[in-house]
Structure 1
């Protein structure tokens, strides 16, 4: 599997990630050293750049910190930040399945290797405070079942799936395809939720049809603003649409899923279109799709979005706090997310900041 999977190519001081024999540019600097300063581009994402300020000047880098790589150091920083617990998702890792989309066997092997590293380095539930999310692919459902059974036995509390059409050997599949049902059944019965985290979903193929970029290089290379306008949250929208429309949650009503770092603007338009289609073709919707959305789906909004509107659509109990720390577009101080919760009661703020994620994870509690 060495050449079929993921390799690191060192060229002097420069490192490259090679996937299936091809340099992968999903993350141009895979060493993350230097790394962007947490929260330095917050004004850019809020659309509040002062007049005359070049947006590029907001980006700042620094040497990587020990707490980005060491769990004991991370716990110290969490204490200082006032965080009882965190969910951690891969950054470089979410570009692997797209790079191996033509090789389901190599995909399964590579993700299994990643999960072994994650367990050794961070743990799946270290001190009941750091919850690392292992990655799985449904390209080969049988291989996914084997991996999930192993992960459950080793204490995984959540699993990560890429929001994208499943790259099966016989052609792309919906998440609602019956071939995936054994996986959904296993996760639902185990009470282990799924997280769909932003990654390389291959959607720049669609923007390329309009003259945009053909490779996903969000932090470098040739940028075309049309790329993000066209596909910014399209992958998660399509993912949730496929799961609801193709009956995943009707067949597995206790399955819990979350959208992580995909924003929340897509939720309202999805709810509107699902309700319209259910009215037009009720035979295909044995349950009200909005009820299904509110029962089975949790969402982490971006801090700059309309969080009260999201809560009105899916219910405050399904809104999750997410800071994306320590990324540049995230919050420098994660708990400052509470300042975005205008108009929410103290009880609802506690739900968003703590209680909802405990319910989503299906654990009794986390550290206080």
Structure 2
């Protein structure tokens, strides 16, 4: 690993939500329909839509898993005879104020040689799926969460150290536009949309449904990118077809078939829907980023896009593969082949993300460079693009300009 002579920009950092992240600002009429935190005297459980939800089995996050302790598991390098469960290490939440406090986190960023991080949710990644049958409760809960997020972390502040991404639910198209306007009015530099079919009153919708064009148009106009981060996308319904569980559970033993069936299917389908249903044709300036979904879906998607364009040329007014390369940024997993990804979509579209402080991420974010083939296969300039410049280009505007000389 080469020590960086500049500060990096990490597009995949996380906070751990406090228990009141969804309830602090939730209107009274939705308190029984949205997210509730109930304690029976022994443990706290999250209840969503009237049901106990196991997306995060312990929503107190105490104890909490140590950053990077599952590195060997995700690299597939567990020594022979070692029980994967033994890799799990935990610590007390009280020992790590940086997980829930912005000022404490900035101090850690200085130590980690990170100039800016995109700050993303943990618990919140499972809420939309749990509430998808109650669209008003979904919209009210997401807005309450975004109010909390801006209050505790700030969508963006003058130092640009932390870019916190509010969530936009498309379930109510008109409400989604209102939420976008709210986020922009508070200075959001990026928003998150769940990589999943959009829940509807009568049936789900594609992300490329023209009903959502006002959202894409406004974000394109504002130059604010859309992040698609790994979430509960509802794809466990596919597991259920094969006799598996239909609901997500964060920990515990799972049927390996679940992973094989799902893997990166949600992000593959999400980007496919954006391209095939002409979102980038109608909104060519819209930028999206896939974060914590890996990169191997890209190769399958390109193959399928080429086949679709060949068999249905009347449908595509532009080359779908070129739209992928022009409008989509990818943050690969640290164990992925970064060189292959750069050769496929262009090095300018590859992002560095550490997933810190999650256990499956990197204990030290900038060790990501250890997984980038170095010069002459990957030049110092290209490494800097991946580790810093591409992320600044993605969020654009004043953030990139003010960071240019650092």
Please point out which of 129, 139, 155 is paired with 1:108: 139
Indicate the residue corresponding to 1:245 in structure 2: 276
Determine whether 1:316 maps to 2:347.
yes
Matches of residues 60-71 of structure 1 in structure 2 within 5 Å?
60-64=89-93, 65-71=96-102
Once the 2 structures are TM-superposed, how far is the Cα of residue 283 of structure 1 from its aligned partner? Answer: 1.0
Residue ranges of structure 2 left out of the alignment (5+ in a row): 1-29
Q: Provide the rounded CA distance (Å) in 2 between the counterparts of 1:285 and 1:315.
A: 22
**TM-score if structure 1 supplies the norm length?**
0.98
Q: Provide the rounded CA distance (Å) in 2 between the counterparts of 1:278 and 1:199.
A: 29
Once the 2 structures are TM-superposed, how far is the Cα of residue 363 of structure 1 from its aligned partner? Answer: 3.0
Q: Provide the rounded CA distance (Å) in 1 between the counterparts of 2:353 and 2:179.
A: 27
Indicate the residue corresponding to 2:17 in structure 1: none
Determine whether 1:198 maps to 2:230.
yes
Indicate the residue corresponding to 2:22 in structure 1: none
Q: Provide the rounded CA distance (Å) in 2 between the counterparts of 1:330 and 1:83.
A: 16
Indicate the residue corresponding to 1:37 in structure 2: 66
**TM-score if structure 2 supplies the norm length?**
0.89
Q: Provide the rounded CA distance (Å) in 2 between the counterparts of 1:359 and 1:52.
A: 45
Indicate the residue corresponding to 2:221 in structure 1: 189
Per-residue CA deviation, residues 231-258 of structure 1 (Å, 9 max, x unaligned), is: 0110000000011000000100000000
Indicate the residue corresponding to 1:359 in structure 2: 393
Indicate the residue corresponding to 1:261 in structure 2: 292
Determine whether 1:86 maps to 2:154.
no
Question: Residue 54 of structure 2 contacts residue 250 of structure 2 at CA under 8 Å; is this kept in 1?
Answer: no
Say what the alpha-carbon RMSD is for the aligned residues: 1.0
Q: Provide the rounded CA distance (Å) in 2 between the counterparts of 1:139 and 1:237.
A: 20
Determine whether 1:289 maps to 2:317.
no
Indicate the residue corresponding to 1:157 in structure 2: 189
Indicate the residue corresponding to 1:176 in structure 2: 208
Q: Provide the rounded CA distance (Å) in 1 between the counterparts of 2:319 and 2:125.
A: 32
Structure with the greater relative contact order (CA < 8 A, sep ≥ 6): 1 or 2? 2
Once the 2 structures are TM-superposed, how far is the Cα of residue 62 of structure 1 from its aligned partner? Answer: 0.7
Q: Provide the rounded CA distance (Å) in 2 between the counterparts of 1:258 and 1:212.
A: 30
Residue ranges of structure 1 left out of the alignment (5+ in a row): none
Q: Provide the rounded CA distance (Å) in 1 between the counterparts of 2:181 and 2:260.
A: 39
Indicate the residue corresponding to 1:345 in structure 2: 379
| Number of corresponding residues | 367
Over 4 Å off, 4+ runs: none
